[in-house]
Structure 1
Amino acid sequence: MAYHPLEKLIHLHDGYCRPFQVAGMPLLLVQDEGRPFVLINRCPHMDARMDRAQVMGGHIRCPVHGIAFDLNSGVAQGPLGHCLKQLEKVPHVFQDTTIGVDL
């Protein structure tokens, strides 16, 4: 596994949402409530890209269908949330002054 830096920590802020391509994987780095998350950049509902999603209040909302997913659990919110696949997260790593992934 090799470390792939995504962003300098100084650039992160609540509402941060930026796509990356690492080793052929579409990733999305977001930050909300002071916590960063690295996600697979696709909605589990219909594979829509999430890089235009709204990130707020512990959730990320798909820009295509409006489905909100809990950033901590990955579970879709709402009455049919249990029927949808979970949002895929990738463990992040801090190294020096950057955040990245080990792939």
Structure 2
Amino acid sequence: MRFYPLEKLINLHDGYTGQFKIDHRQILLMQRDNRCYALEARCPHRAHPLDTASISGELIQCPLHQYRFSLRDGSLIQATEEPCRALRTYELVYEGNEVGVMLEEDG
């Protein structure tokens, strides 16, 4: 496992959304209601980008087909068409003045 820094803590604020590419992964880092989340950047239903998704409480809603997922664990809460897999989420790691994720190295 390797630590991949995503953002400096000083840059985080409510409403923050940043997208990062690590190897083949696209990861969104978001802060809402003083809480940070890291999740895959595309909806698992039809791979629509989630950087403009609406967030209500701890739910994220895809802007394309309104699929809703839990920000905590990525579980599918509501499907408007066929069910899909859960949204990948990543545990955040705080190291020094940065927040990032621990990932298996590709190779």
TM-score after normalising by structure 2? 0.80
Greater shift after overlay, 7-16 or 71-80?
71-80
Q: Contact 1:15/1:56 (CA < 8 Å) preserved in 2? A: no
Say whether residues 1:62 and 2:101 are aligned partners: no
CA distance in 1, matches of 2:34, 2:86: 22
- 1:13-36 deviations in Å (ceiling 9; x for gaps): 222222110122111111222221
2:35 is aligned with 1:32: no
Asked whether the 8 Å contact 1:30–1:55 carries over to 2, the reply is no
Alignment of 1:3-14 (within 5 A): 3-14=3-14
Contact 2:29 2:37 in 1 (8 A): yes
Deviation at 1:52, TM superposition (A): 1.7
**Deviation (angstroms), 1:6:** 0.7
Structure 2: any 5+ residue segments left out of the alignment?
Answer: none
- Aligned-pair CA distance for 1:47: 1.4
Give the corresponding residue for 1:46.
46
Alpha-carbon distance between aligned partners in 2 of 1:76 and 1:16, rounded to the nearest angstrom = 23
Q: How much identity, in percent, do the aligned residues show?
A: 36
Residues paired across the two proteins, number: 103
More deviation, 91-100/63-72? 63-72
Moved over 3 A (4+): 78-81
How many Å apart are 1:80 and its aligned residue? 6.0
Structure 1: which 5+ residue stretches go unaligned? none
Deviation at 1:51, TM superposition (A): 1.4
Helix, strand or coil at the partner of 1:85? coil
Q: How far has the Cα of 1:43 moved from its partner?
A: 0.5
Structure 2: how far apart are the matches of 1:61 and 1:88?
A: 14
Q: What is the aligned partner in structure 1 of residue 84 from structure 2?
A: 84
The TM-score with structure 1 as length reference comes to 0.83
